[in-house]
Structure 1
Amino acid sequence: MLLLAVAFIVAFVLLLYMVSPLISPKPLKLPGAHVVVTGGSSGIGKCIAIECYKQGAFITLIARDENKLLQTKKEIEKYCVNDKQVVLCISVDVSKDYEQVENVLKQAQEKLGPVDMLVNCAGTSVTGKFEDIEVNSFERLMAVNYLGSVYPSRAVIATMKERRMGRIVFVSSQAGQLGLFGYTAYSPTKFALRGLAEALQMEVKPYNVYVTVAYPPDTDTPGFAEESKTKPLETKLISETSSVCQAEQVARVIVKDAVQGNFNSSVGSDGYMLSILTSGMSPVTSITEGLQQVVCMGIFRIVGLFYLGSFDSIVRRCMMQREKSESADKTE
């Protein structure tokens, strides 16, 4: 069995070596590139825009709140590396009207040139038990988190294919890799981005266009702070099993992976493990990445089972405490 396993790994490495020229993309050069960031007025989106601007890119920020956009524009401009750089602000809801999204992106390209990298970062969250969440919240989250990424991507993909270059980034979440208590409305919308990204990558790879799916963990952003106000106790306790990352750190990782053309982008050891565990049939962009997935999958599955067991234990304890409290209230 051992010899068979070794032979399999060797054959796998040789296969990847043979096709590696077809796998590894050339890095995108950010100096002078046009980067569009949706949801760019705050949080991870703003930090991604700053990171790209620091590297010499021209930035188009897209968000709904015009005042926030103008404030963010001033903040980003502090990091300019040359006097030719421009930050363009567009106030639009990317989840409502495709034609409007298409028109504003055409305007942005007329001013700053074709889009070299699109970062879909617009998103929102609702937490709560499945039966307590309003039905229209499921519809709203799917519109913002999923269609809000479909529309901008659809508006720029044809030009990217014509130019034989481009990057599209979908900012998902670790909740888009693992369904957790309290995220029945949120997780499906982030899982959907993975399916879109895999299918789209297969379509556009021959045109030298590469797709990246980012899976940030809990990140210190205004959105995370707002979400924490309504989290069920179970969700809070599960979230506390891992640390909260800084938006600047997450942005640096996402930009680096997008520039390199990596399909998966994760942060930290937990993120790395989840990316291995959920790799499935997702594309790889290096021999090392494919080999790591093959070698680590088994051991990470064992670790993952311990995590799942601890999460189930948290949910059971909370349920028992709640029932005990309700029983005590009835007897008073």
Structure 2
Amino acid sequence: MVFGLGKSWDARGKNCYVTGGSQGLGLSVATQLASQGASVTIVARNVGKLKAAVEQLEIHHQSSEQTFRFHSFPLNTSAGSQSALDAECQALSQQSDGAVSAPDAFFLCAGSSRPGYFVEATEDILVEGMEQAYWVQAWSAHAAMKKLVREQHPGKIVFIGSTLSLMSFIGYASYSPGKHALKGLAETLRSEGLLYGIDVHIFFAPAMNSPGLLEETKTKPPLTTAFEAGDEILSCDDAARLMLNGVRNGDHHVGATLITKIFYNASRGAAPLVNPCLGPILDCIGWIALPFWRRDCDAKILKARDEHREHLTKSEFSPEKKKVGLIFILPLLMLLADVAIFCMIILY
């Protein structure tokens, strides 16, 4: 559907596959799909949470033809994502006597964020950041697209990006690069998907009142928290509803808040325009307002330099401590060298 014209997507009777569906946004998406008459399969790692989530989905049954189930697989590797989809395709084939062999729509909600300063991040943190922000969805999309193409089955793939897919600031060095990459992948697959009748969408998720947000606060730098103090925080149910509305309308870029819509219009590039009337207006707002917003952010960061140096001094990462150490170590090494030379002269 283009510019709101054409037939909208209906979840009723569809087989939907939701990764990260045991909690947070993924569970809200799964629940609303169930309420709209879809059969839903959720994928995550924690079996206990998956069982509880499926029980919740059962409450939203709309017809006797709906089915709800879960698979427990890690999705951070190609093999894990492929195994999860293979398990679901086998289950679909068995329940339909071979008539159905692939889901109709994929909602890729798995992932997490661990904010922090880049200079304090370890190799493991940076690798895991890219894994959770990009690969955990990219591998599932890869498996999904191959399956749909082989089966010649039109379908949908929905990525979950972030407002940080469109911009970034201090504290998100391990997360935002992966989300930017996810936006690039979604736009690439939207183009390639035209060959196969596969629609691709990306939802730029705002801050949500979710288990993930609680985890983020454990490592989030004070400056990052200060920048986000005025952000609108949505419930997962509201975010899921807005996302599904955009998917239903056929929007490639889907936003939930005004600020996100301003950012995705300002950085749209060659992606399809969601709203030909509102889009240019938001472009103008972004062109005027965003430079002032960025300048304000930079001023706050510069003002916090001394406080940040104090933080580094107290943490394991401390240039001052290293410098002090060298001041004492170098004279000691020179003294030992002089003693060694003196001893060699005496012995000689």
CA distance in 1, matches of 2:309, 2:120: 17
1:107 aligns with 2:95: no
Deviation of 1:326 (Å): 9.0
Look up the match of 2:76: 95
Match of 2:288 among 268, 290, 302: 302
Partners of 1:272 and 1:58 in 2: how far apart?
31
CA-to-aligned-CA distance 1:148-206 (integer Å, 9 cap, x gap): 11222222224434545211110011111111110000001111111101111101124
Question: Which of 21, 39, 42 is matched with 1:40 structurally?
Answer: 21
> Residue 27 of structure 1 contacts residue 260 of structure 1 at CA under 8 Å; is this kept in 2?
yes
Q: Which residue of 1 aligns with 2:298?
A: 312
| Structure of larger gyration radius | 2
Instruction: Name the CA shift for 1:189/1:201 in 2 (closer, same or farther; >3 Å).
Output: same
For 2:142 and 2:131, locate their aligned partners in 1 and report how far apart those are by CA, in whole Å.
Answer: 15
> Do the aligned partners of 2:273 and 2:279 also contact (CA within 8 Å) in 1?
no
Report the 3-state secondary structure (helix = DSSP H, G, I; strand = E; otherwise coil) of the residue aligned with 1:172: strand
Equivalences for residues 223-242 of structure 1 within 5 A: 223-242=212-231
1:120 paired residue number: 108
Aligned position for 1:74: 55
- Number of the residue aligned with 1:129: 117
Shift of 1:313: 2.3
Partner of 2:237: 248
Give the CA deviation at 1:256: 1.5
Change (3 A) 1:23 1:221: closer
| 1:183 alignment partner, SS class | coil
**Change over 3 Å in CA distance of 1:131–1:323 after alignment to 2:** closer
Aligned residue type for 2:181: A
Aligned to 1:6: none
Q: Which residue of 197, 204, 207 maps to 1:208?
A: 197
SS of the equivalent of 1:56 reads: coil
Residue identity (%):
24
**TM-score, normalised with respect to structure 1:** 0.85
Partner of 2:111, secondary structure, is: coil
Amino acid at match of 1:281: A
Q: Which amino acid aligns with 1:118?
A: F
SS of aligned partner of 2:268: coil
Deviations 1:82-133 (A, max 9, x none): 2221111000011124242442243243247431110111101111110101
Local SS of the residue matching 1:118: strand
Deviation for aligned residue 1:44: 0.4
Higher RCO (Cα < 8 Å, 6 or more apart): 1
Selected match of 1:149 from 130, 137, 143? 137
3-state DSSP class of the match of 1:122?
Answer: coil
Matched, 1:62 2:43: yes
Amino acid at match of 1:220: N
8 Å Cα contact 1:153-1:168 kept in structure 2: yes
Gaps of 5+ in 1: 1-19
Distance 2:60 2:2 in 1: 36
Q: CA deviation at 1:278?
A: 1.5
- Kindly tell me: are residues 29 and 315 of structure 1, through their superposed partners in 2, closer, same or farther at Cα, counting changes over 3 Å? same
Q: Label 1:188 to 1:322 Cα distance change in 2 as closer, same or farther (>3 A).
A: closer
Deviates more, 1:306-315 or 1:292-301: 292-301
Give the total of aligned pairs. 306
Taking only aligned residues, the RMSD between alpha carbons, in angstroms, comes to 2.4
User: Is the 2:12–2:37 contact (alpha carbons within 8 Å) kept by the matching residues of 1?
Assistant: yes
Higher helix share: 1
- The SS at the match of 2:194 is helix
Moved more, 316-325 or 298-307: 316-325
Return closer, same or farther for 1:326/1:209 CA change in 2, 3 Å cut-off. Answer: closer
Instruction: Calculate the TM-score normalised by the size of structure 2.
Output: 0.81
